Structure 1
């Protein structure tokens, strides 16, 4: 029964959509289900990277230690997203980040060497993966530009606009699924700076807060505030 559940979940993801039923069944048999509690580490930066993962439920954060010992949030991952698959193609065989659950989470764990052998026999799947990695690289380059050349207010405004786009809300509501402290780390700003920008945007009648719900009262004004 578990293998059938694995098969149904796995075949929904583009990484596996080009595989035959026989190959999918083989992948499902070798896939492990990991159930995580909040703040549980899946792997640590520097550990040997022999698996990659697909999130079924919950949220996972990827973090990296900076030279001064601080933790920097690199990415917040949601259900349906994979991570650590790019490490399969790197010359180094260790994880460049630490993966930690934010909430209760369930993830599938895939053996990287096994999947690489599958890619060698499935060029279509390999090309799909490379396309996704290229898009992620472009996103990272844009992020680096924003973090190094744009001020804190721009980053916060861009965060809201990106969330509106992702959530597709017609009534301009953004639900914060993670703590503000994590958002601040993700944007490379201090929590107090984030709070100050929130306060300014509320004073300007651009947004209002209702707990974890952020209501964007004037999207155009928010865009101009960049």
Structure 2
């Protein structure tokens, strides 16, 4: 498939993905010419630590786990990416080896954005560079927030914050929300620097205080406001979990 045909097949996916939504059609076509659509099976390794990459990934559907591995084989999960998230941008732009391993947790569809066409588009359309700067700035703020949570918040607050991040609010009742844990509890726990046992215990604690309703991996949030308040100050009606 040549660049033109490849671009046509990727154009719709690119137009709906951040940070490319809203770009001029000509800019989208230029970037899309350097893109490729990839389908990954469950457990498939997308990239490994130390691998050189000529672009970065956008998760279109499915879920992707980012982690680092020790020489002894231990794993620390850094994040679980849902549709719309991106990874490996810094490695692609800086020309440095990828610092993490990325594994598809489910059957997933990804868009690989080639760095060469992207640099060309940045030179011709300032909106492309602006969108990428916004993406990287948000990523930096997110990393600082993660560090703050890890250093200053209790385990229960970290769990509450993660639930709020991944939950989808009910359009008819905006203060209610629902989510399904994106991976096994042990994987989600690792991304919060918690053991699986601690993660399960904190979920039960949130449930006892009426902040969530828990049924295996399905979680209902009856009041986003109350859960957000707990995530911020660690108290529920003056009672600590």
Q: Same fold (TM over 0.5)?
A: yes
Give the C-alpha shift of residue 121 in structure 1: 2.5
Q: What is the root-mean-square deviation of aligned Cα atoms in Å? A: 2.5
Check if 1:118 corresponds to 2:139.
no
2:111 is paired with a residue whose SS is: strand
1:93-131 CA distance string (max 9 Å, x none): 111111110100111112223322321222221022112
2:53 to 46, 49, 73: 49
1:150 to 153, 178, 185: 153
1:97 to 95, 100, 109: 100
In the TM superposition, structure 1's runs of 4+ consecutive aligned residues that sit over 4 Å from their partners are 17-20, 66-69, 217-221
1:189: which partner in 2? 194
> What TM-score, normalized to structure 2?
0.81
1:15 is paired with a residue whose SS is: coil
Alignment CA distance shift 1:79-1:10 (3 Å): same
8 Å contact from structure 2 (residues 68, 75) kept in 1: yes
2:102 is paired with a residue whose SS is: strand
Give the C-alpha shift of residue 20 in structure 1: 4.5
Distance 1:122 1:47 in 2: 30
1:16 is paired with a residue whose SS is: coil
Structure 2 residue runs of 5 or longer lacking an equivalent are 235-241
